[in-house]
Amino acid sequence: MEYRTLAGTDLKLSALTFGAWAAGGWMWGTTERKDALQAIRASYDNGITSIDTAPIYGQGNSEEIVGEAIAGIPRDKVQILTKFGLRWDLDKGRLSMRSKDLKGESINIHIYAGKESIIKECEDSLRRLKTDYIDLYQLHWPDPTTPIAESFEAVNRLIEQGKVRYAGVSNYNAEQMAEAEKTTFIASNQIPYSMVNRRIEKETLPYCIKHHKSILAYSPLERGLLTGKLKPGHEFAEGDHRATNSYFTDDSIERTNAFLAKLKPMAEAKDATLSQLVLRWTIEQPGITIALVGARNAEQAIQNAAAIHIKLTPEEIQFINDLIPPA
């Protein structure tokens, strides 16, 4: 595995970081707890020491699974990244979406990053994760109802108390990052980035490069679209958010698979899967520090980790870039 230092910190993260959204079983259809635990442990055994989660992923379930999975591992050998600012148990802030919890009961999810709410969220996360500190604490989504300064004053307090090591943001644009930086040091921005979603290249990516901020790319496989395994007419499990996502229409899947077919000879020549080639390409892109990738079981986790062994020359990267369809 390769390890990369989060900009402006002494925190080293595995270039491929385990993304634990699906492990929580929320919005991805059914996820078996034992499979999720085995996936995280297999990832760690193969060098993936960093795990990204959030309270909203299964309404605490993902964090609890992460806490159980890393039990017994020396705390300084694993890096925990989690988030705050999405509440399903508090009617404050801006309504983000209506959903169902793991029991099938309706919940309203609010974006809210008020100071006292953040303090409570941190305590709850520490308890679920069974740890006394979080390596990177990230504001999950911009909260239009709370001043950015108020949110990060709370994070500063947590840093002073030793409960959080570093602050980050998620889904922030360049202007919001600059505003947050007035209150505390922001190490990173976790934001979507993939071969078929390169929107950040216009503004956010240049800002992060200029100001020496790390980018944690999530959905590098575009939630499975870039694996090449999906076919038009695919039926998603009940509760899987991809069923209504525009990336997963039959036309989109067909176009993407036609593009991936052009990459397949390169992957085969490297004795790699398309997923592994896509992951390696992602972490080779300018400004991208790490890529988050999930796994439903140990086999997928081992395959993901093996992507680190693929080598791409500048010429091969340019070849891939030239093939990528326009956004």
Q: What spatial distance separates the first Cα and last Cα of the chain, rounded to whole Å?
A: 31
Sign, Cα dihedral of 297, 124, 193, 291: negative
Tell me whether residue 254 is in a domain: no
Give the active site residue among 3, 44, 57, 133: 57
| DSSP line for 89-122 | S---SEEEEEEE-TTS-EEEEEE---HHHHHHHH
Q: How are beta strands 106-111 and 86-87 bridged, if at all?
A: antiparallel
Tell me whether residue 258 is in a domain: no
Tell me whether residue 131 is in a domain: yes
Tell me whether residue 282 is in a domain: yes
For residue 38, the enclosing domain spans 3-224+275-311
Residue 157 C-beta-side C-alpha neighbours within 13 Å: 14
Catalytic status, residue 172: no
CATH (domain of 99): 3.20.20.100
Q: What is the pLDDT of residues 31-52, one digit of tens each?
A: 789 999 999 999 999 999 999 9
What integer pLDDT is reported at residue 20 of this predicted model? 96
In this prediction the pTM is: 0.94
Provide the pLDDT confidence category of residue 326 given band limits of 50, 70 and 90. low
Q: Retrieve residue 103's tokens.
A: 């029991």
**30 vs 100: CA distance, rounded Å:** 13
Q: Retrieve residue 309's tokens.
A: 């062994």
Provide the pLDDT confidence category of residue 325 given band limits of 50, 70 and 90. confident
Tell me whether residue 243 is in a domain: no
Other beta carbons within 10 Å of 85 = 28
Sign, Cα dihedral of 136, 200, 29, 109: positive
Domain count across the chain: 1
Residue whose tokens read 């996936």: 39
**pLDDT at residue 249 tops 90:** no
Q: Which residues contact 18 (CB under 8 A, 6 or more apart)?
A: 39, 40, 43, 48, 50, 51, 52, 292, 293, 294, 295, 301
Q: What is the mean pLDDT of residues 133-148?
A: 98
